[in-house]
Structure 1
Amino acid sequence: MKSTDDAGGNDRRKVRVERALIEKACILFAEKGYAGTSLTDIAEAVGLTRGAVYYYFKNKEALLETIVDEMTVAPLAEITLWRSTASGTVAERLHAFVVQRVRDVLARQTEMRMIEVTEAALPPDLLERHSQAKRQILGEYRSIIKEGILTGEFRPVDDRIAAFGMIGLVNWSAHWYSPDRGPTVDEIANQLAEMAVRSVIGETGRKDRFSNARDAIATLREDLDHLEKLVDDKADRHS
């Protein structure tokens, strides 16, 4: 019985240390870049020797590969699940999709910031995996927007430009969100989702406001500036 308990304890420790290495690697890659970060830097940040790290990851590239896989496999699985359960009008489904994407981005906030810094340095196979995931996410946005245009719920915008605008809106939240102050993740997710839907919705009052997709993106930026101001104001009140 003791050997079984020991094995279970070792497994739990391995998982904890691997997670600590991944989290510290993300922070250091984001701060110093992939090339500027050594395995020794990561080991010291976790309190290990460089040699001990090899028990968990064979090299720095394997650590990076694990991070990239986490950022591609899990989100795509969540999108597949969302697609199988999504219901309601196109606008309601777009809202739900953006909420899901914001939650995912903020759950992987450090990883999102890290990948922006290291993307150009990714090995070709990892870059292709990451690029494929980005294409699938873009494709999901475009598919929803196109459907909304066809049903008349959305204005006849350029679906590609509108999709990129929404992706930027969602991904930028990783740069300014703070879990220690301001709105909650759900509050942010719902407001950003509402902003995304309002940028394409075909309501009469909106048609006069937007003449093309670029106007819609400009409005998204204005709304995001407003949201960031609200975050700062709320934080100031609690400081």
Structure 2
Amino acid sequence: MEKPSRKAERTRNFIIEKTAAIFNKKGYAGTSLTDLTLATGLTKGSIYGNFENKEEVALAAFDYNYGNVNQVIRQQMLNAETYYDKLTVYTKVYDQLLANNFPEGGCPILNTSTEADDTHELLKDRAAKAILTWKKNMQQLIQAGVEAGEFKKQEDDSALAISIIALIEGGMMIARVTGDHNEMGKVMMTVEILLKQIKLT
């Protein structure tokens, strides 16, 4: 017989997987309890027997969507041979995610930041931490590239990293709101120009 703790974990994961796309598309405020019960086929009691409230489900859904994006990035990083290639993974992955609507609803950082900046402190904090982690990872790649003799020494790798992130997220926003994926491509070209400028060869 399955242990109660294992069953509860499976139920929690099921709820997260079934509701992640809804939160990513509709946002926290736009997602109702009815949306959650319809998506999962569970009752309100079953959902709130596994989560304290809708907020807890929304936070778990963000982590799930963000984790899926990071998994794609990590996989492609493994195949990148140079630090330049590793940095361009971000442009390629986000361009692909936009084209394939993955995760469903678009970039969870962009979606959550847009909705939660003035309305939901915990979701805002999750999105902010995701951006800061992304920035830190990019800075580490830039610094490693400098040490390996691949990149020029940077006066402010923090500024470069956050500028690239802003371009990627901004490009996604413009492409989605205009319905023109080509706009994302134009922005990605700008990111590639920035990266080529720091290469030594």
Within a 5 Å distance, the mapping from 1:90-105 to structure 2 comes to: 90-104=83-97
Q: Is the 8 A contact 1:95 1:193 kept in 2?
A: no
Structure 1: how far apart are the matches of 2:140 and 2:72? 17
Q: Is the 8 A contact 2:142 2:157 kept in 1?
A: yes
1:117-151 CA-to-partner distances (Å, cap 9, x unmatched) read: 2256243xx66655443332112211222344452
1:24-45 CA-to-partner distances (Å, cap 9, x unmatched) read: 333332xxxx4x557346459x
Distance 1:139-1:104 versus aligned 2 partners, 3 A rule = farther
Structure 2: how far apart are the matches of 1:128 and 1:28? 19
Partner of 2:141 in structure 1? 144
Is 1:156 aligned to residue 147 of structure 2?
Answer: no
Percent of paired sites with the same residue: 11
Within a 5 Å distance, the mapping from 1:129-140 to structure 2 comes to: 130-140=127-137
Partner of 1:201 in structure 2? 196
Shift in Å, 1:69? 1.2
Structure 2: how far apart are the matches of 1:159 and 1:110? 24
Unaligned residue ranges in structure 2 (runs of 5+): 1-9
1:52-77 CA-to-partner distances (Å, cap 9, x unmatched) read: 34444643123202222113322333
Unaligned residue ranges in structure 1 (runs of 5+): 1-10, 205-239
SS in 2 for 1:177: helix
Distance 1:129-1:199 versus aligned 2 partners, 3 A rule = same
RMSD value, Cα:
4.2
Structure 2: how far apart are the matches of 1:70 and 1:176? 24
Structure 2: how far apart are the matches of 1:198 and 1:25? 35
* Number of aligned residues: 178
TM-score (norm 1): 0.54
Structure 2: how far apart are the matches of 1:79 and 1:110? 13
Structure 2: how far apart are the matches of 1:73 and 1:81? 12
